[in-house]
Structure 1
Amino acid sequence: MSIFARKPIVGPLILLLAFAILYPLCWFYAATRMETQFSLWVENLRARGFAITHGSVSTAGFPGIIQFSINKPNFRSPDGHWVWRGNIVHLGMQPWNWRRYRLEFSGLQQIKLSYPTPKQPIWLTSKSAVAVLRVHSNGRLAEGEVTLRSISVMDKKKALVLFTEDMWFKLTQPETRISKVEKTAVSVAVSIDNLLLPAVAQSPLGGRLARIQFVANLKGLLPKDMTHKGLEKWRQAGGSIDTSWFNLVWGAFDLRGRGSFSIDESIRPVGSMTADIRGYSETMDALEDAGIMTGTGAAALKMGMSAFAKTSSADGANVLTIPLMMRGGYLHAGPFQILKLPPLILPSR
């Protein structure tokens, strides 16, 4: 065979040889860079007052996904108001994509919170957690998606306060910090399934919230910290929360709505929502059985609701559409004042 006949094979062989040499170099360079960035991140946070400790770290995964593992991580905020203790964290990254990361938190995760609302510390534990993060070209977080399984909330005595089977949330934000009120600073989506309430908080609707979901855009320049002063500045600048979807399923009660919210000068929620309510008749029956409403009152209210309800073309259910408003420290459903809304409990500064 002549040399000319072999030439078509030479090019691909050279490319394959170059890839075999360069890919390991790129992989180990990316792995080393990940370790270096982690060390710099820890040093930077420690300089800002955070207490961070961890056990051994290791890198594995060649020639595929880079797996950077951190054993026994412990993280405490400068004021000590929240503490995180983990078992092991695996950080995964594709060596050809430095803007997307996957974090898997193996084993039991514990978070202690005593800020800003709880009067005593509460503990959050999760059996598993997975987060997928994507960053912009300037290093700013572009998107974060977190899935938690079997989440328990306990009080100081480790008594169970809340439990939920699944929780998912997603956050997205623009590449640069916004400067205009009408612009969206952060978009948030949350879904919680099977939230179990403590006995003291259970109602005639039962002790399990089957579903809580919402999708919202936070508009205006967000405060740097969740304090009374920070939120007041956000409010004065015209900040708002626009909710394109909200769904609460509690027993037979099924509320679906959308609206816009903010806070007033007393840091109380204000805003309005258009709500579609399914299961209102069964809800009235549950309130009547619990003695909260009289039989005559429940029957009259159900009759009035049914007069304004419409049949859904999607599922054939009777749907009552009503406006909900929060103003002056109270929640109103149409012309009726439903309940008092207390101010948000936050540090003053």
Structure 2
Amino acid sequence: MKSNRPFWIIILVSAATLAAYTGYWFWGAQKLAAFAEEQLDGWRSEAVDVHYAEPAVTGFPGIIRVTFPSVAVTDSKQNWHWQGQQVELSAQPWKPLNFRGSLRGEQGLSLPLDGRMVDMVLSADRADVLTHFDLQGQLSGVELELVKLDGAAPMLDEHVRADYLYLNVDQLAAGGDLAASLRTKVTKLILPKAWDNPLGRGLKEFQAKINIVEPFPQSDLQDSLTRWQANGGRLDINWLKVEWGTLGLQGQGRLALDKDLRLDGKLDGQVAGLAETLEEFGARGLIEKKVARLAAAGARLFSFGKTADGRPAADIPIVLQQGNLLLGPLQLASIPPVFAPAKAPVRISPPPEEADRGPVPKELMPPAGDKITPVPTAPVVVEELGPPKAPAAQ
């Protein structure tokens, strides 16, 4: 008779493994829920108020999911408000150092613009943020992915759309010159009307690989950018590709911020479609048609190179300087500062009769016990204006 011992050993080992995994899963779920609430509560301050509904933990035995049915954040100091229909934080039990945050449904955002509160509605087929932590618990990387992004501001009659938006930030160093490495890709972006320019509002594609030199100081965004600029912070563009209207360019270079927090620098690259762009500018009356034809002919003549897709391309510098985007000698657009300069407060001086004249000198004070008699003043006679009177006869 065969022994059943191996069978029971397999059963016991399987049961122990299942029990251990179950305990590990629920322990991880509890830790993830606590981490999510800690992150939300960490936003709270004297000026920031955070509200969220009781989270639900689901997903056993697979991916751990902590779902908040509703989250609202209000910053009374910066005067903005965000309301999310559903926020989800998830993690794979076998990858405990990676967390994914997802926004579901419509997101409401209220921001102060031009002295008034503007309400915006944002939605996307997928809106995910993936964070990576090292073994010491320090943030080492962030990925953002938006699919079919749609944003509307009805008060401004503005709309923004993008088929795909991806952003990856790695090497978040605690020290050293290189603060982070950034990769980004955007396809089929429709810009708001306020950003209309000679190339149009439709950006077909934007890709870049950038090194951020000098870490950002820990402060609010505007102060952080100001100090980063003062410390010599810059962006080393290792690779850039843009398809915008009839224009296509690829290049590399270096950018920084000027004192007004505007992008400033130079890119060296190949530009395709320059002749067609010049002719379009001439047709729209942005430059004289004769000048546009001559410049387009010169662009075709000097387009010796070719892009990856085989289009003729010319080597032309791309310059951002004093708030202008220049393609060679051609101004394409104006580049606004990241933050509008603050208006200086208006000081209102008191009228002369209310100004402080100081104490009255002792020699001008009446002797003690004397009464102060008001000085009679002559009545003020107001004469009506009219034609000059004739001189009296002599």
TM range (shorter): 0.7 to 0.9
TM-score by length of 1: 0.85
Larger radius of gyration: 2
Q: Structure 2 residue aligned with 1:55, among 53, 75, 79?
A: 53
C-alpha contact 1:228 1:346 (8 A) present in aligned 2: no
Equivalent residue, structure 1, for 2:254: 260
* Structure with more relative contact order (C-alpha pairs < 8 Å, separation 6 or more): 1
> Which residue pairs with 1:222 in the alignment?
216
For residue 108 of structure 1, report the CA deviation from its aligned partner: 0.8
Flag the 1:189–1:32 CA change in 2: closer, same or farther, 3 A.
same
1:42–1:52 contact (8 Å) kept in structure 2: yes
Q: For residue 281 of structure 1, report the CA deviation from its aligned partner.
A: 1.7
Residues 220-257 of structure 1, C-alpha deviation per residue, up to 9 Å, x if partnerless?
02132355653343233221111122222222111222
- 2:88 corresponds, among 87, 90, 108, to 90
Q: Secondary structure at the match of 1:79?
A: coil
- Cα–Cα, structure 1 residues 106 and 259, in superposed 2: closer, same or farther, change >3 Å? same
Question: In the aligned structure 2, how far is the partner of 1:341 from the partner of 1:158?
Answer: 21
User: How many residues align structurally?
Assistant: 340
| Counterpart AA for 1:94 | Q
Q: TM-score, normalised by structure 2?
A: 0.76
Counterparts in 2 of 1:130 and 1:284: CA distance versus 1, 3 Å? same
Q: Deviations over 1:129-183 (max 9, x none)?
A: 1222222223332222222234344447152243323322222233x512x3xx3
Q: In structure 2, what residue type is equivalent to 1:64? A: G
Residues 186 and 346 from structure 1, CA distance in 2 versus in 1: closer, same or farther, beyond 3 angstroms? farther
Out of 63, 69, 76, the position equivalent to 1:71 is 69
2:110 equivalent in structure 1? 112
Task: Using the TM superposition, name which of 186-195 and 20-29 deviates more.
Answer: 186-195
RMSD of the TM alignment (CA)? Answer: 2.9
Alignment match of 1:185 (pick from 176, 179, 182): 179
Equivalent AA in structure 2 for residue 160 of structure 1: E
Q: 1:276 aligns with which of 264, 270, 286?
A: 270
Supply the distance in 2 between the matched residues of 1:226 and 1:286 (Cα, whole angstroms).
42
Judged with a 3 Å threshold, the aligned counterparts in structure 2 of structure 1 residues 76 and 343 are, in CA distance, closer, same or farther, namely same
Report the Cα offset of residue 277 of structure 1. Answer: 0.9
* Residues 275, 295 of structure 2: 8 Å contact kept: no
User: Helix, strand or coil: the match of 2:15?
Assistant: helix
Picking from 116, 123, 128, the partner of 1:130 is 128
Q: What SS does the aligned partner of 2:94 have?
A: coil
Equivalent in 289, 298, 304 of residue 295 of structure 1: 289
Structure 1 gap ranges (5+): none
What is the letter of the counterpart of residue 69 of structure 1? T
Q: Give distance in 2, aligned partners of 1:286 and 1:217.
A: 35
CA distance in 2, matches of 1:196, 1:313: 24
1:310 to 297, 300, 304: 304
Task: Give, in angstroms, the shift of residue 73 of structure 1.
Answer: 0.8
SS in 2 for 1:169: strand
- Write the deviation string for residues 291-310 of structure 1: whole angstroms up to 9, x where unpaired: 22333212211222223211
- Which amino acid in structure 2 is aligned with residue 290 of structure 1? R
**Alignment identity in percent?**
23
Deviation for aligned residue 1:9: 4.3
In structure 2, what is the equivalent of residue 151 of structure 1?
Answer: 149
How far did 1:121 drift?
4.4
Instruction: Provide the rounded CA distance (Å) in 2 between the counterparts of 1:118 and 1:213.
Output: 31
Point out the more displaced range, 209-218 or 75-84.
75-84
Q: In the alignment, residue 73 of structure 1 is paired with which amino acid?
A: V
Instruction: Structure 2: state its 5+ residue gaps.
Output: 343-394
Contact 2:198 2:332 in 1 (8 A): no
Please identify, of 196-205 and 90-99, the stretch whose mean Cα deviation from structure 2 is larger: 196-205
